[in-house]
Amino acid sequence: MSRNVKTALIIGGVIIAILVAIALAQTTPKLAVFWLFGLGFGFIMQRSRFCFTAAFRDLFLLRDGRMMKGVLGGLAVATVGFALVMSDMVPKNLDLGILPLNVYVIPLGFHLLLAGVMFGLGMVVAGSCFAGTLYRIGEGYAASLVTLAGILVGLGVLLHNWNWWWQSYISLLPKVWLPHSLGWAGAIGLTLAVLVIGYLAVRWWESRGGVIARRAVEKQPTATMGQKLGALRRTVLVKAWPVALAGVLLGALNTVEYLFERPWGLTGEFSRWSGSLLSFIRLPAPEPIGAAGP
């Protein structure tokens, strides 16, 4: 594909995205804002190949911790950002049972560990996480459509069993929220300390595989303005972005979205897709009960 065709496709895509945002803003302004947030998240993740599954897979199989360090960096930024947002939202000494719905404190139990392990194994086999599945579909990976189908089927099964799980087990478990137990300063400090320990552990694990390769920085000749603009275009649209930068950008963008209404999430939206699909085939899913419903 020639450079002119690629440029035309990029310009066309930007124009379409702007037109869709304008059209949505006429009827549902909130949806237009989420459309722009979605484009931002998708672009950052696609350009950096950011994937939570790859963070663990690359670390353990290849001793490559770049993706994991990006995840840790994003978590650090989001920890501080979310704490600032939530501290304004939750009064001091508020009962955990009556927290606002968009604070997302769920009961703590063995089910989280078991589900996390099963989810991780499934995503490693599939080759990507939820977000990675979406941007790979956009890139034309047909195998990711199979992954998406499996996700929707699994969530459909969950929708039909969630009420039983909630009533018989999950709702009976205690809720644990660090700001409630340690205060905001203690919760932020403890979380950041764990993330720093995680970063040091990743560095140690990488070092066991040998010396971490570093790219030699070559001195570039003086370039014209046109060459500089071309280099900038390639950096933004062609070359892979550093995953550490992507993690920080994702954490910051997620904080901004939380300020607008709620944090970025995929599981809930996939559940709605699954519920709509079940309704389409005349197999309606029951309405989930409880604040921790999918």
The pLDDT tens digits of the residues spanning 82-108 come to: 999 888 877 666 666 666 666 778 888
Residue found under tokens 């931002």: 40
Q: Distance between CA atoms of 193 and 91, rounded to whole angstroms?
A: 25
**Residue 33 counted as domain residue:** no
What's the pLDDT at 215?
43
Q: How far apart are the C-alpha atoms of 33 and 8, rounded to whole Å?
A: 26
> Which residue segment(s) compose the domain that 274 sits in?
51-208+236-280
Output the pLDDT for position 264.
83
DSSP E strand stretches across 96-248: none
Give CA separation, 254 vs 116, 231, 292, in Å: 22, 29, 20
Residue 43 lies in a domain: no
Residue given tokens 């496709």 in the structure block: 9
The pLDDT assigned to 75 comes to: 94
Whole-number pLDDT of residue 253: 93
Does residue 60 belong to any structural domain of this protein?
yes
Please say whether the dihedral angle defined by the alpha carbons of residues 125, 126, 127 and 130, taken in this order, is positive or negative: negative
Residue 173 exposed, middle or buried by CB count within 10 Å (0-12, 13-18, 19+)? middle
Asked whether residue 163 is assigned to any structural domain, the reply reads yes
Domain membership of residue 253 (yes or no) is yes
Q: Does residue 89 form part of some domain?
A: yes
Contact predicate 288/162, CB 8 Å: yes
Given a cut of 70, the residues of the chain with pLDDT beneath it are: 1-7, 91-102, 210-238, 283-294
**Residue 226, domain member (yes or no):** no
Q: Where are the beta strands (DSSP E) in the chain?
A: none
pLDDT reported for residue 8: 74
pLDDT score for 217: 43
Cβ atoms of 259 and 85 within 8 Å: the answer is: yes
Q: Count Cα neighbours of 7 within 13 Å in the Cβ-side half-sphere.
A: 6
Exposure b/e, 114-137, CB count within 10 A at least 16 = b: eeeeebeeebbebbbbbbbbbbbb
Element (H, E) at 259: helix 243-260
Q: What is the pLDDT of residue 254?
A: 92
Q: Is residue 216 part of a domain?
A: no
- Taking the mean position of all CA atoms in its chain, how far away is CA 67? 13
Number of domains comprising the chain? 1
Rounded Cα distance, 151 and 276, in Å: 14
